[in-house]
Amino acid sequence: AQSVTQLDSHVSVSEGTPVLLRCNYSSSYSPSLFWYVQHPNKGLQLLLKYTSAATLVKGINGFEAEFKKSETSFHLTKPSAHMSDAAEYFCVVSAPASGTYKYIFGTGTRLKVLA
Amino acid sequence: DTEVTQTPKHLVMGMTNKKSLKCEQHMGHRAMYWYKQKAKKPPELMFVYSYEKLSINESVPSRFSPECPNSSLLNLHLHALQPEDSALYLCASSRTGLGDNEKLFFGSGTQLSVL
């Protein structure tokens, strides 16, 4: 069965320093993986997705993620954190079910950006 | 229009009440989803509709009854809820529900409190 594990529940960085949010996946085949962001009192927004076309995926707002099959990882990075990046980040994997697909969320990582 | 609209934004109901949550999208999407999100937790999938047919029910109690009257509209009927059902209910849509890499478009949610 497909699943994702987010290794850190909280990450704190200073503004202008790099961001690393870690996600490991478990899948019996090459999965589709996603990162979503949830700002306080706002809906969820897709940052980027991996669909096997390229292992390095660029997303919105300067975020990118690299799919590493050997490490079963899909870590999210950003070279320089901005105050507006403070939010909850979810790693998501899709899984087939009943002729369609369901999207399974990891436990989330809360990113705090310090001034 | 890339919006998913959920109404109401807030709802307070007693355990004997019957209420409904509404979700609407006009992007031509044929898959719609209900998620439940407790505070500081990830969204948990409840139901998936694809082409107006219920594809996935994640063993949700019968006091939650989904309905998809047409491809643009998704309802969640609530009856005899328990206080532990208090949560943010999120609606999402995607293009067809038949691909493993579809972007989910989320509404901003209905914050439900059961007294």
Per-residue pLDDT tens for A9-32? 999 999 999 999 999 999 888 889
Residue B100 at interface with chain A, using a CB cutoff of 8 Å: yes
Q: Among B98, B103, B107, whose Cβ lies nearest the Cβ of A100?
A: B98
Q: What is the pLDDT along chain B (115 residues), one digit of tens a residue?
A: 679 999 999 999 999 999 999 999 999 999 999 999 999 999 999 999 999 999 999 999 999 999 999 999 999 999 999 999 999 999 999 999 998 899 999 999 999 999 9
DSSP-H helix ranges across A7-85: none
**pLDDT computed for residue A28 by the predictor:** 82
| Torsion angles phi and psi, residue B84, rounded to 5 | -70, -5
* The Cα angle at residue A26 between residues A22 and A31, in degrees rounded to 5: 90
Contact A101 B44 (CB under 8 A): no
Across the interface, whether the CB atoms of B42 and A105 are under 8 A apart is answered yes
pLDDT at A42: 78
Q: Which residues in chain A touch residue B99, judged by CB atoms under 8 angstroms apart?
A: 101
Residues 6+ apart with CB under 8 A from B96: B29, B30, B31, B50, B51, B102
More confidently predicted of A50 and A53: A50
Count Cβ–Cβ pairs < 8 Å, chain A vs chain B: 64
Phi (first) and psi of residue B7, to 5 degrees: -135, 145
B91 to each of A108, B21, B45, B94, B102, how far by Cα in Å? 19, 10, 10, 11, 15
Q: Is B54 on the interface with A (CB under 8 A)?
A: no
Query: Can you point out the beta strands (E) in chain B?
Result: 4-7, 10-13, 18-25, 31-37, 44-50, 53-57, 64-70, 73-79, 87-94, 105-106, 110-114
pLDDT in tens, B21-41: 999 999 999 999 999 999 999
A98/B98 CB distance under 8 A: no
CB atoms under 10 Å from CB of A50, counted, come to: 22
**Beta pairing partners, B95:** none
Closest CA to A17 of A64, A82, A110: A82
Provide φ and ψ at A61, rounded to 5°: 60, 30
Q: Alpha carbon of B103 to those of A16, A29, B93: distances in Å?
A: 29, 20, 8
Is there a contact between B45 and A104 if contact means CB atoms under 8 Å apart?
yes
Residues of B whose CB is below 8 A from A89 = none
